[in-house]
Amino acid sequence: MRYPVPITGPRYITDSKGRRTAVVLSIREYNQLLEDSHDRALMAESRGDERIPWEDVKRELKERGLLPD
């Protein structure tokens, strides 16, 4: 029977000269990497969008009853 060995941090596969050629990540680390990449893409996509001051957002949320006074 094989017991899983937890992966803590990235593990590298190297060539015969010791150069890193690939990386092994846990599923959790891989999913986090995908999420971070997606978040960065959304941020880059919205760079030219109009900004709304935080005070205006809070006031509107309070008016809608979505934020307590």
For the chain of 69 residues, list the mean pLDDT of each consecutive stretch of 10: 70 96 94 96 93 96 94
Question: Which domain, by its residues, includes 14?
Answer: 8-46
53 within domain boundaries: no
Q: Which of 57, 69, 21, 66 is nearest to 11 (CA)?
A: 21
Q: Is the pTM of this model over 0.85?
A: no
Q: Residue 17 gets which letter from DSSP?
A: T
Which residue bears the tokens 């030219």? 48
Domain count, the chain: 1
Query: What are the counts of helices (DSSP H) followed by strands (DSSP E) for the chain?
Result: 2, 2
57 within domain boundaries: no
Task: Supply the pLDDT for residue 33.
Answer: 95
Structure tokens at 68: 């307590």
Distance CA 56, CA 48 (A): 19
59 within domain boundaries: no
